């Protein structure tokens, strides 16, 4: 798994994209297969600068932090510092050059982390409301879903 993670940072953006697509689909197929490599994945998260890979990295974090992941994975997550990931997800949401899909997956991942980081809830709501002011239909739909999740 380390090798696949490393390939996602390949200078050829197409190679990186294919590796991260594979990485995401491995998680969806076998979430517990990530147990030994989750810390490494998280440690490399902020290094991502490939727009095509950002979407999949945000989706992986969204899936990993979902309340329905296996208990073994949830236990492993408690021992990993997600603060750098949270910062990166917010950076992606704020950056006007980042694509809408990345912003929405980042927002959903942050929504999943709101109980771990209580300050995220208020910041996320403010950022989503800001994006929705002039946002596309995708931002409007995704933003409403995130705001509804915050109010729960």
Residue 138: predicted pLDDT: 87
In this prediction the pTM is: 0.92
Residue 32: predicted pLDDT: 87
Give residue-wise pLDDT tens across range 34-90: 888 999 999 999 999 999 999 999 999 999 999 898 898 888 888 899 999 999 999
Residue 33: which domain range? 2-151
Residue 14: predicted pLDDT: 96
CATH label of the domain that carries residue 11: 1.25.10.10
Mean pLDDT within 137-152: 92
Residue 135: predicted pLDDT: 87
Give residue-wise pLDDT tens across range 109-130: 999 999 999 999 999 999 999 9
Q: How many domains does the chain have?
A: 1
Binned at pLDDT 50, 70 and 90, residue 10 comes out as very high
Binned at pLDDT 50, 70 and 90, residue 11 comes out as very high
Q: For residues 102 and 92, what is the distance between their CA atoms, to the nearest angstrom?
A: 7
SS3 per residue for the chain: CHHHHHHCCCCCHHHHHHHHHHHHHHHHHCHHHHCCCHHHHHHHHHHCCCHHHHHHHHHHHHHHCCCCCCHHHHHHHCCCCCHHHHHHHHHHHHCCCCCHHHHHHHHHHHHHCCCCCCHHHHHHHHHHHHHHHCCCHHHHHHHHHHHHHHHC
Least Cα distance to 57 among 88, 14, 36 occurs for: 88
The answer for residues whose C-beta is within 8 angstroms of residue 93's C-beta and 6 or more apart is 103, 106, 107, 110, 127, 131
Mean pLDDT within 19-26: 95
């Amino acid at each position: 798994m380390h090798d696949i993670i490393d390939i996602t940072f390949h200078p050829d953006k197409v190679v990186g994209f294919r590796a991260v697509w594979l990485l995401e689909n491995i998680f969806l197929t076998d979430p517990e297969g990530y147990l030994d490599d989750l810390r490494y994945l998280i440690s490399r998260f902020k290094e991502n600068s490939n727009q095509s890979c950002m979407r999949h990295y945000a989706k992986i974090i969204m899936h990993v932090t979902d309340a329905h992941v296996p208990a073994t994975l949830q236990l492993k997550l408690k021992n990993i510092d997600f603060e750098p990931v949270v910062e990166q997800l917010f950076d992606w949401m704020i950056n006007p050059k980042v694509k809408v899909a990345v912003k929405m997956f980042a927002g959903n991942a942050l929504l999943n982390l709101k109980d771990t980081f209580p300050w995220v809830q208020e910041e996320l709501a403010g950022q989503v409301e800001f994006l929705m002011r002039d946002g596309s239909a995708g931002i409007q739909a995704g933003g409403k879903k995130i705001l509804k999740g915050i109010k729960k």
